[in-house]
Amino acid sequence: MAATLLVLEDDEGIRSSLCLALQAEGYETIPFGLAEHALAELPGLSVDLMLVDLMLGEMDGFTFVREVRQRSDVPIIVVSARADTHDIVAALESGADDYVTKPFQVKEVSARVRALRRRPPALARSEAEAVVLDGADGPLVLEWGAGTVRRGDQEIHLTSTEFRLLCELNQPSGRVLSRQALLDRVWERDYFGDERIVDVHIRRLRTKIERDPGRPELLVTVRGLGYRFDRRP
C-alpha cells in the first residue's frame, strides 16, 4: 500500500508541483495551504508522514509541528527556504524529525521519507524481546517488537526518530557512538546538514526518559567523542 503524505505548503504552485512529483514517486498526497485547516482535518485522516513548510499564514510551521506533537507521533519533515541554523534547530526542537532546505530534489525528499518510515534495524530482533534500561524509578523497558518504551505501566511516547535513536544507542557494551555514526544509522544516508540534529533529538529524548534531563544518567555525553547509553537496572 502506498504511503500517504500530508503536504502543508502555502504557495499553491509549489504545493501542486510537490504533490505531483511525490505521486510520481508512488505516494498518495493530501495537500493543505493553511495550518489551521490541516489541524482541523487531522483527526479524520490516516497519514504516514507530514511535509511541512515554516512560512505559512497566521499559524506558522513551528506552531503547527508543536500542535501535532501534542496528539501524534507521525514523522514530520520540515521543508523550508529558511536555511539558518537557528531555524533548523528551532524546528527540530518543536518536534520535527528532519529538515530539508529549498530548493531541493524530490528524490532527496523521497529518500528521507523512506528512511523515516523504515523499521529500526533493532527490530530484527525477536518480536517478544524486551530490555530493562533503568530501574531507579520503576523499570524503564524498551520493547523491540512493539516499538515502545515503558516506565512501569506507563508508555512513554517517542517519535519514530527518537525510538530509532534509542535503539541504536542501546549497545550492550556501552559503546560510544559519534554524531556521524548516529546520523548514518538513524537517518540512513549521508547527512550534509548541521550535525546538531543529533544533539536536538538527544535533548528531546532525555526529557522523556531521564529523571533529571539537566543531569543525564542514561544518555551520557562523552566530550569530543559522542554519546553513550548507560543502563542502570
pLDDT 10s digit of each residue in the chain, 233 long? Answer: 689 999 999 999 999 999 999 999 999 999 999 999 999 999 999 999 999 999 998 899 999 999 999 888 899 999 998 888 888 889 999 999 999 888 888 888 888 888 787 755 544 444 457 778 777 677 888 887 777 888 888 888 888 888 889 888 887 667 899 988 898 888 765 555 567 789 999 999 999 999 899 999 889 999 989 999 987 75
Superfamily, domain 4-117? Response regulator (3.40.50.2300)
CA–CA distances in Å: residue 167 to residues 163, 182, 203: 6, 11, 16
- Which conformational region is residue 45 in: left (phi greater than 0), alpha (psi within -120 to 50 degrees), or beta? beta
What pLDDT shows up at residue 82?
Answer: 87
- Counting every residue written for the chain, the total comes to 233
Angle, helix 85-94 to helix 61-69, in steps of 10 degrees: 30
Domain extents for the chain?
A: 4-117, 121-229
Residues contacting residue 229 through CB under 8 Å, at least 6 positions apart = 133, 166, 169, 170, 171, 174, 218, 219, 220
Nearest CA among 65, 51, 7 for reference residue 33: 7
pTM over 0.75: yes
Read off the C-alpha cell for 189: 544516508
Fold of the 121-229 domain? Arc Repressor Mutant, subunit A (1.10.10)
